[in-house]
């Protein structure tokens, strides 16, 4: 299958009063046609900034993409002008944000916000755009579509707002959908419905999805391929079954161990010791070394490269002899 999205050696920084934060550090990943790729990791690992970099939403001068390429169907998005990027964003690449209440305009009716991309990208008339907007509200499982179209965001529940965000995202038939924590703060029943909806739209249109989450249950249910990030870097990646059955990086092992197991009694839940390092204080090393039970001297002084270890998995860890050969 062809790559819809191909990110190579992406680096994104933010300039702060305290110094430069390297939020995304030499990240490479691919998303193929019709595939769901999940990026997983703790808060602050660089997941959302990777997505924002793809969408061209990292705002200068504070934020800046300083290295790498982001290719969409072979075209480097980083070389496009602002107007050229506008024709791609919301049309061929769409994004669902974490917080629908803050992502939607509180002073515009739902219908108006659904109509905007339809008129902008598909050049529909106002009448045709409203008709299609009402159809989209129904397609995402919301009853009383006309009434909802005339409502304001504050009149809808969190689950309904997230459905509206999905409706806006799929309105122009994107080839790539980026979903950033699309089920955060939703109860499990609504979460399951949202995930089923995303999978259905993906199957119907052969759309690709880049799904960002910290929920391993969502990863197990949705992903074809998994990318694990820590402190702005990719530490492990692989096919979902291989990664869950045989995680290689100590961080991935810790994430999986932290998830409660149904029907298995546990005196206390496991948590990875320590904290994510301060991004202003990172030095050449494995960034996970001070939280790792397998830490060696080289882990404190040299950063491991991401290496293919077979079985469709790649890992950045000095524990493996394949990596040790590059010392």
Rounded Cα gap, residues 60 and 52, in angstroms:
13
Q: And the tokens for 142?
A: 């919301």
The residues near 245 (Cβ < 8 Å, ≥ 6 apart) are none
pLDDT, tens only, 229-252: 999 999 999 999 999 999 999 999
Q: And the tokens for 128?
A: 């045709």
- The domains of the chain are located at 3-92+172-262+269-324
Higher pLDDT, 24 or 101: 24
Q: Of 43-52, 135-144, 178-187, 318-327, give the lowest mean pLDDT range.
A: 318-327
Per-residue pLDDT band for 263 (boundaries 50, 70, 90) equals low
Neighbours of 126 (CB within 10 A): 11
Higher pLDDT, 187 or 62: 62
pTM: 0.91
3-92+172-262+269-324 adopts what CATH topology? Rossmann fold (3.40.50)
- For position 303, what pLDDT does the model report? 93
**What is the DSSP-derived secondary structure letter of residue 128?**
H
Please report which helix (H) or strand (E) contains residue 96, including its range.
Answer: strand 93-96
Whether pLDDT at 38 is above 50 = yes
- For position 98, what pLDDT does the model report? 79
- For position 321, what pLDDT does the model report? 57
- For position 324, what pLDDT does the model report? 45
pLDDT, tens only, 76-134: 999 999 899 999 998 999 999 877 778 899 999 999 999 999 999 999 999 999 999 99
């Amino acid at each position: 299958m062809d790559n819809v999205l191909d990110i190579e050696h992406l680096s994104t920084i933010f300039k702060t009063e305290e110094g430069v934060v390297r939020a995304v550090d030499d990240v490479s990943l691919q998303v193929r046609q019709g595939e769901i790729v999940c990026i997983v990791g703790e808060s602050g690992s660089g997941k959302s900034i990777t997505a924002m970099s793809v969408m061209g939403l990292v705002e200068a001068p504070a934020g800046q993409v300083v290295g790498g390429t982001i290719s969409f169907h072979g075209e480097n998005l980083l070389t496009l002008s602002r107007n050229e990027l506008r024709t791609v964003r919301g049309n061929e690449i769409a994004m669902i944000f974490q917080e629908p209440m803050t992502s939607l305009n509180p002073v515009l009716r739902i219908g108006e916000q659904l109509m905007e991309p339809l008129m902008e990208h598909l050049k529909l008339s106002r009448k045709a755009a409203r008709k299609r907007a009402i159809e989209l509200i129904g397609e995402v499982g919301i009853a009383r579509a006309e009434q909802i179209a005339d409502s304001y965001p504050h009149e809808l529940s969190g689950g309904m707002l997230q459905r509206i965000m999905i409706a806006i995202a799929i309105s122009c038939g994107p080839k790539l959908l980026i979903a950033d924590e699309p089920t955060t703060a939703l109860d499990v029943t609504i979460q399951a419905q949202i995930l089923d909806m995303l999978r259905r739209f993906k199957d119907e249109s052969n759309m690709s999805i880049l799904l960002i989450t910290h929920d391993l249950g969502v990863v197990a249910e949705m992903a074809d391929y998994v990318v694990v990030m820590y402190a702005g870097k990719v530490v492990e990646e692989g096919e979902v079954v291989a990664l869950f059955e045989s995680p290689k990086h100590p961080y991935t092992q810790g994430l999986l161990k932290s998830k409660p197991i149904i029907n298995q009694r546990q005196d206390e839940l496991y948590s990875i010791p320590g904290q994510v390092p301060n991004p202003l204080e990172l030095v050449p090393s494995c960034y996970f070394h001070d939280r790792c039970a397998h830490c060696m001297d080289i882990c404190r002084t040299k950063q491991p490269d991401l290496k293919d270890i077979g079985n469709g998995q790649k890992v950045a860890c000095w524990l493996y002899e394949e990596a040790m050969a590059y010392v």
